[in-house]
Amino acid sequence: MAGVAFRNISKVFGKDVKAVDNLNLEIRDKEFMVLVGPSGCGKTTALRMIAGLEESTEGDIMIGEVRVNDVPPKDRDIAMVFQNYALYPHMNVYDNIAFGLRLRELKGFFWQLTHMAEARRIKLDIDSRVKEVARMLQIEKYLHRRPKELSGGQRQRVALARAIVRKPKVFLMDEPLSNLDAKLRVETRAELIRLHRSLGITTIYVTHDQTEAMTMGQRIAIMRDGKLQQCDEPETVYAYPANKFVASFIGSPPMNFVDAKITNVGEQAYVDAGDFKLALPAGHPAAGMSGKSVTLGIRPEEIFDATLPSRVTPNELNTIRAKVDVLEPLGDRYIAYLTIGGHKLVSSIDNETKIKVDQEANFTINLERIHIFDNDTEAAIR
Ligand code: ATP
């Protein structure tokens, strides 16, 4: 078992493609860490550097206490699972799972001839390990089949089994679920989490899907343009995004952003969007920045129908009046598209609502959960 660390890691392709830019990130022993970000942000490159499939241009990659930059991939004791499974098509499932173990643990043919007893013991051990992981992943029935005789989900299990059977120090997973249909993806997600819990192996999981990141990661590391934006537990990243990019990337439907200014009326500070203004909670650091241009961020689920019971009691400081443009029913909730003067807001409203399209209604906003971003740096002010 071991943690993994990126210390001042950069990777430049060719002359000037900086795929990873001074990455510092510690993944704890036994942790499930998700690297997430839009396409091209450098997450696969970061993963490949741990595996040794890509050399870093600068910095240190640590597995446990060992700097592994110069350790060949086969000696790093990691196992990688990819999106495209990479199974051997001519081998059955059993041999696909056993192949790496045989290669590692049974030395050459002549060694086996001269060490028959030991070779036999190793073969029996490999057999019981293959069967044990096959049972764990419920693929025992398919051990004799070739990959082409399996469904996508079954192939993915074989790829996982092949990685697990080696009991590596670290698992690296690169979008392993993206070839599965939506239902199977959700099931396999839960299965991977259970598997991680029972095996307790440090896992680094790459995805561009924020829902996958939020549901799977013990911590998530959000990347953009090769740079780490924030790394924390999913709940913390959701509630306290470090900047506007993280705020926009995490959460569905995404956070509303509105151009605004900080204003003061007497003692009370407001975030003023022109067509509406909201009171800043007492002691908010933006309160002392009167005149500053900012971006106000409001999550759709923090906008409530003012006539329904909610966490927020309507008052003159937290209530806005908006026109309802569109109502999308989701069953338990509606997604309501609102207009307030020149601003558009999306809200996620309880299905008890009586609001109607093309009519105006009062909405309350949870002021404790609004976000203020500095327009110069995009960093959260809090
Ligand atoms: P995706 O989700 O699309 O796989 P990613 O976040 O994993 O994206 P990377 O594959 O790590 O991103 O790529 C990061 C950047 O490095 C991109 O701009 C990409 O074009 C570039 N890049 C990756 N591999 C190479 C390479 N072998 N040669 C040149 N540029 C590369």
pLDDT tens digits, 241-262: 999 999 999 999 999 999 999 9
pLDDT range class, residue 115, cuts 50, 70, 90:
confident
Lookup: tokens for 242? 């470090």
- Give the integer Cα–Cα distance in Å for 253 and 251: 6
Q: DSSP label at 358?
A: T
- The answer to which of 36-45, 111-120, 209-218, 337-346 has the lowest mean pLDDT is 111-120
pLDDT for residue 32: 98
- CA 40 to ligand 1 centroid distance, Å: 5
User: 18: burial class by Cβ within 10 Å (0-12, 13-18, 19+)?
Assistant: middle
- Give the integer Cα–Cα distance in Å for 223 and 199: 27
Nearest CA to ligand 1 atom 15: 19
Lookup: tokens for 308? 């329904």
Residue list, ligand 1 pocket, CB within 6 Å: 13-14, 17, 19, 37, 39-45, 208
Residue 299 has pLDDT above 90, yes or no: yes
- Give the integer Cα–Cα distance in Å for 239 and 370: 10
Residue 54 has pLDDT above 90, yes or no: yes
Query: Where would I find the H helices in the chain?
Result: 43-51, 93-105, 109-114, 116-136, 152-164, 182-199, 210-216, 234-239, 244-249
- CA 68 to ligand 1 centroid distance, Å: 22
Residue 75 has pLDDT above 80, yes or no: yes
pTM of the model: 0.91
Place of tokens 């952003």: 257
- Give the integer Cα–Cα distance in Å for 124 and 122: 5
* DSSP assignment string, 127-188: HHHHHHHHHHTT-GGGTTS-GGGS-HHHHHHHHHHHHHTT--SEEEEESTTTTS-HHHHHHH
pLDDT for residue 17: 93
Nearest-atom number in ligand 1 for the CA of 44 is 7
Please report how many Cα atoms fall inside a 13 Å half-sphere around the Cα of residue 235, on the Cβ side. 1
Q: How many CB atoms lie within 10 A of CB 283?
A: 7
Nearest CA to ligand 1 atom 26: 13
* Chain centroid to CA 354: 36
Nearest-atom number in ligand 1 for the CA of 206 is 7
Nearest CA to ligand 1 atom 10: 44
- The structural domains of the chain, ordered by start, are 4-248 (3.40.50.300), 253-374 (2.40.50.140)
Place of tokens 């959701």: 238
Lookup: tokens for 285? 């650091």
Is-contact 203 170, C-beta < 8 A? yes
pLDDT tens digits along 31-49:
999 999 999 999 999 999 9
- CA 54 to ligand 1 centroid distance, Å: 11
Ligand 1 mutation pick, 6, 35, 41, max ligand atoms within 8 A of CB = 41
Q: Which residues contact 284 (CB under 8 A, 6 or more apart)?
A: 269, 372, 382
- Give the integer Cα–Cα distance in Å for 239 and 251: 10
Is-contact 279 269, C-beta < 8 A? yes
Ligand 1 mutation pick, 15, 17, 55, 172, max ligand atoms within 8 A of CB = 17
- Give the integer Cα–Cα distance in Å for 5 and 56: 13
Nearest CA to ligand 1 atom 17: 40
- CA 46 to ligand 1 centroid distance, Å: 10
Nearest CA to ligand 1 atom 7: 44
Nearest-atom number in ligand 1 for the CA of 54 is 27
